[in-house]
Chains A and B, each alone.
Chain A
Amino acid sequence: MMQNEKFEAISALIDGELPDDMRDELIGDLLKSETLRDQWTSLHFTREAMSLDYVDHLSSDFASRVASAVDDEPALLVSPVGAGRPFRSAWQKPFAGFALAASVAAIAVFGVDWGQQTGSQTGPVPIASEPVRNEVSDPDSASTQLASALGTYWSSQPGKRDMDVEKRLNMYLSDHIESATASNIQGLLAYSKLVAYDGER
């Protein structure tokens, strides 16, 4: 690039109108050439002088005075702004996707049927350890007690809501198995077998 073209590019740079791919190269040139830095200074001054509130306060050697003072300071050697961000975003994205998928799966598999349990019980052990009562007032609770004794979560006479839940869960597992097969992955296949076993009992 000829010098005049570089001057023109600096003018575009200070307007924020230089394409990104040319920016770094031009900044590199600016850092190497005192002539280009002077042009940078002149163009910025011209812009300032055109602003309505411009007032001249500085002698023309101000920047070189500051540069001399900065030369007495040690050079900075720190991680540049944003240095850690690409790495963070690179692992955050797939992790966030995985976490979302896992949450949805967990809600679909566990969230819906735990709602059928009483109180705060969330696992089979407390139910199974409860003593089986003999005095039974309605058939539903009787079947539930029987199921509890067998250590299962499922009522032997599920209501309409239970049927819906089972239907949704089965559809979810079927979809999952189909997509897992298509993608050649195992996924929740083992879990679906466990559910089938429970049903057979």
Chain B
Amino acid sequence: MSDKDIDLALVKRVQRGDKRAFDLLVRKYQHKIAHLVARYVRDTSEIQDVSQEAFIKAYKGLANFRGESAFYTWLYRIAINTAKNYLASQARRGDENGVDAQEAEQFDGADGLREYASPERVLLTEEIKQTVHETIKELPDDLRVAISLREFEGMSYDEIAEAMECPVGTVRSRIFRAREAIDQALKPLLGRSEEV
């Protein structure tokens, strides 16, 4: 079952009136959408507002979503349009704080964003990355190899099981335990995320 299938299962539940299913989609894609919006919008609070607006538009638009494209592709387009509309409205008001839409299209990854994110956000991002890196380094070998093959090499559980010469169930368990260790290490930083 692919990511698309999971999204589609959740979308069907939203369309049947279950708002909690939409909450799962928000939790899943919030960082990706914020990352996308941040290409267009400079201010952190505005990134959050525009991202929220994109999700609300998506929720309303789900009534007409027919699954012709993947949910994330569809959400991605909504987020870009929302960010562009935001820039247009800022331009009409003579506000120069936003990033030019054309300029935003040329950003690629975090390097371009560093020019625009606040120093506190940049610092927090660095701390999160450092914590992830160090936690992975300190993991027992079997967990470290399993999570690395999954996240960095993009291998399936079957492929990892073959490479590590162990059952698929063991791979599943190792990947989960590695993620849990990383999650525990990140928790103190996430508390700070609200203050920044």
B81 at the interface (CB under 8 A from A): no
Does more than half of chain A's interface fall in helix, strand or loop, or is it mixed? helix
Closest CB-CB distance, B84 to chain A, in whole Å?
A: 18
Interface pair A76/B17, CB less than 8 Å apart: yes
Interface residues of A in 85-120 (CB under 8 A from B): none
Residues of A contacting B26 in the complex (Cβ-Cβ under 8 angstroms): 63, 66-67
Interchain Cβ contacts within 8 Å, total number: 202
A78 at the interface (CB under 8 A from B): yes
Most B CB contacts (10 A, CB to CB) among A13, A56, A60, A66 go to A56
Q: How extensive is the interface on chain B, given as a class?
A: 35 or more
Residues of A contacting B122 in the complex (Cβ-Cβ under 8 angstroms): 55
Stretch at the interface among A24-32, A137-145, A146-154, A173-181: A24-32
Interface pair B132/A50, CB less than 8 Å apart: yes
| A84, B109: Cα distance in complex, Å | 41
A27-B151 contact, Cβ under 8 Å, with A60-B194, A71-B19, A76-B63: no
Interface pair A78/B59, CB less than 8 Å apart: no
B90 at the interface (CB under 8 A from A): no
| A12, B1: Cα distance in complex, Å | 10
Interface pair B110/A58, CB less than 8 Å apart: no
Interface pair B28/A58, CB less than 8 Å apart: no
| A46, B14: Cα distance in complex, Å | 25
Does more than half of chain B's interface fall in helix, strand or loop, or is it mixed? helix
A57-78 CB mask vs B (1 if < 8 Å, else 0) is 1111111011101110101111
A8-B193 contact, Cβ under 8 Å, with A31-B21, A55-B35, A70-B19: no
A80 partner, pick from B16, B129, B191, beta carbons under 8 A: B16
| A53, B108: Cα distance in complex, Å | 9
A54 at the interface (CB under 8 A from B): yes
Q: Which 7 A-B pairs have the closest CB atoms?
A: A81-B67, A53-B109, A80-B12, A57-B34, A11-B176, A75-B17, A8-B176
The chain A residues found within 8 Å of chain B, CB to CB, are 7-8, 11-20, 23-24, 27, 30-31, 37, 40-50, 52-63, 65-67, 69-71, 73, 75-82
